Amino acid sequence: MSLTKRSWAEPFKIKMVELLKMTTPEQREKAIKEAGHNTFLLKSEDVYIDLLTDSGTSAMSDQQWSGLMLGDEAYAGSKNFYTLEKAVKKFYGYKHLIPTHQGRGAENILSQVMIKKGDIVPGNMYFTTTRLHQELAGGTFVDVIIDEAHDSENLHPFKGNIDLNKLQALIKKHGAKKIPYVCVAVTVNLAGGQPVSMQNLKELRALTQEHGIKIMLDMTRIAENAYFIQQHEKGYSKKSIAAIVKEICSYTDGATFSGKKDALVNIGGFLAVNDQEIFEEASNLVVVYEGLHTYGGLAGRDMEAMAIGIEESVQDEHMKARIGQVLYLGEKMQEAEIPIVLPIGGHGIFIDAKRFLPHLKQDQFPAQTLAAALYVDSGVRTMERGIVSAGRNAKTGDHYYPKLELVRLTIPRRVYTQAHMDVIAESVERVYQDRKKIRGLKMVYEPKYLRFFQARFSKL
């Protein structure tokens, strides 16, 4: 036995378990048919390992559960609001906090406050709810991510970076006045959880400052982004995740945050800004859409749990195990030569469905098809991030045809074991062996907004 090998393990032990229902392939065939071949429409009790999302699916710590008992459910001025405000100042450095029921609540308010009709909002690849709120506020989203992000085989270590030349061209074309802010996501969900480098953020800051354009962070997975900076960016290997997180925030003017990802809670979010005027306008709007500015749609106990989760999320040991588990699964798939997005991202493994099912055309929904097939094979629930998620162009009515057609295997935080990861990898391998037999889908019901959530399909 080699004495040099040292395995890592999770920096926690399990105190309570949730029993899972085991199903047969026949039961799963029936369930996916009833769900219109859309994994969003499956009942969760029919799912064995749920990789639909890492959103709101984390396991809270005993500290967070204890925090729930400290809930101060006063309508105004809850103690827990001040605890959360303190955590946001301490770990992120923003001056003003507005809690919201989740990330999209913050996106709605930020978009309404900052975007005027006809404005342009550049961003590093779109996120579904973010872009929709920008559009509903009268803005047009423009993707300014580097080209490498659209290539699932490109090994660039910071595929989330903004292409400053694209941004400069956009400023030249429309004028800085038409650009209220640049929306920077860390990490980039739809590119496969790819990080942004600190260098890129610094350069972006310099460029936007020249033109008086603000930077608003979508900081939903900021601690995961910080881990990649620590591991791969020169000058950061000895800095803590906490220090890197705070430095990222320092180059921006504010942020929207979904507590359901990094912050290890099941519900919650916030808008944080430095600018007093934006804060005041946002405070006016939050009472319309979310609730009073000291609870924003959350119970006091939720704010307490989120404050504790924020602190836990920036611990180096936590992040090493969190991303270590994702890497473990990704490396297993690479060994089996499954086409996945590389480098392996922060919150999940993204299978390239175009390369997995090359015999399907994109409008036969290869990623949707593959997600359904994986569920039938093993009860593992994944989701589509491709043509269905991309939606339609509002002007022409055509599908958007995104370059990336992916199936996302998102890993909840602190929920599954290494043995679960083995089961997942083996199921993907099995489906890969039989891939030639898989037929595509046609869409038989299409909702108007965010269609991927509720669309229904039948087999071709």
The distance of Cα 391 from the centroid of its chain, to the nearest Å, equals: 18
Decide: is 160 part of the binding site for ligand PLP (CB under 6 A).
Answer: no
By beta-carbon proximity to ligand PLP, the closer residue of 32 and 306 is: 306
Q: Which of 39, 111, 189, 382 binds ligand PLP (CB under 6 A)?
A: 189
Decide: is 55 part of the binding site for ligand PLP (CB under 6 A).
Answer: yes
CA distance 187 to 222: 7
Residues 6+ apart with CB under 8 A from 13: none
Main-chain dihedrals φ then ψ at residue 264, nearest 5 degrees: 60, 30
Stretch that binds ligand PLP, among 71-79, 123-131, 333-341, 416-424 (CB under 6 A): 123-131
User: Among candidates 31, 45, 78, which has minimal Cα distance to 375?
Assistant: 31
At 9, the amino acid letter reads A
Residue among 214, 261, 354, 451 flagged as catalytic: 261
Structure-derived torsion over alpha carbons of residues 80, 104, 96, 89, reported in degrees to the nearest 10: 60
Q: Which of 49, 170, 185, 428 binds ligand PLP (CB under 6 A)?
A: 185
Stretch that binds ligand PLP, among 64-72, 258-266, 273-281, 303-311 (CB under 6 A): 258-266
At 217, the amino acid letter reads L
Residue among 43, 62, 75, 401 flagged as catalytic: 75
Count of residues that bind ligand PLP according to CB under 6 A: 15
Token output for 339: 């086409």
Q: Which of 96, 159, 260, 414 binds ligand PLP (CB under 6 A)?
A: 260
Decide: is 108 part of the binding site for ligand PLP (CB under 6 A).
Answer: no
- Catalytic residue flag (residue 75): yes
Stretch that binds ligand PLP, among 24-32, 72-80, 97-105, 150-158 (CB under 6 A): 97-105
Question: Residue 90 burial by CB count (10 A; 0-12/13-18/19+): exposed, middle or buried?
Answer: middle
Residue among 127, 181, 257, 279 flagged as catalytic: 127
Q: Which of the residues 311 through 330 are near ligand PLP (CB under 6 A)?
A: none
Tell me which DSSP letter residue 140 carries. Answer: E
User: Among candidates 346, 63, 56, 336, which has minimal Cα distance to 191?
Assistant: 346
CB of 44 to ligand PLP, least distance (A): 17
Residues 6+ apart with CB under 8 A from 206: none
CB of 30 to ligand PLP, least distance (A): 30
By beta-carbon proximity to ligand PLP, the closer residue of 346 and 379 is: 346
Residues 6+ apart with CB under 8 A from 325: 10, 411, 416, 418, 421
Stretch that binds ligand PLP, among 126-134, 142-150, 243-251, 388-396 (CB under 6 A): 126-134
CB of 366 to ligand PLP, least distance (A): 23
CA distance 45 to 19: 10
Q: Which of 194, 258, 294, 427 binds ligand PLP (CB under 6 A)?
A: 258
- Catalytic residue flag (residue 261): yes
- Catalytic residue flag (residue 350): no
By beta-carbon proximity to ligand PLP, the closer residue of 129 and 378 is: 129
User: Among candidates 131, 247, 143, 242, which has minimal Cα distance to 197?
Assistant: 247
By beta-carbon proximity to ligand PLP, the closer residue of 102 and 194 is: 102
Residue among 214, 332, 385, 451 flagged as catalytic: 385
Question: Binding string to ligand PLP for residues 209 to 238, with x set by CB under 6 A, is what?
Answer: ---------x-x------------------
Strands (E), 30-170: 49-50, 96-100, 120-123, 140-143
- Catalytic residue flag (residue 452): yes
DSSP codes, 382-445: -EEESHHHH-B-TTT-PBP--S--EEEEE--TT---HHHHHHHHHHHHHHHHTGGG---EEEEE
- Catalytic residue flag (residue 422): no
Residues near ligand PLP, by CB under 6 A: 55, 102-104, 127, 129-130, 185, 189, 218, 220, 258, 260-261, 269
Residues annotated as part of the active site: 75, 127-128, 218, 261, 385, 452
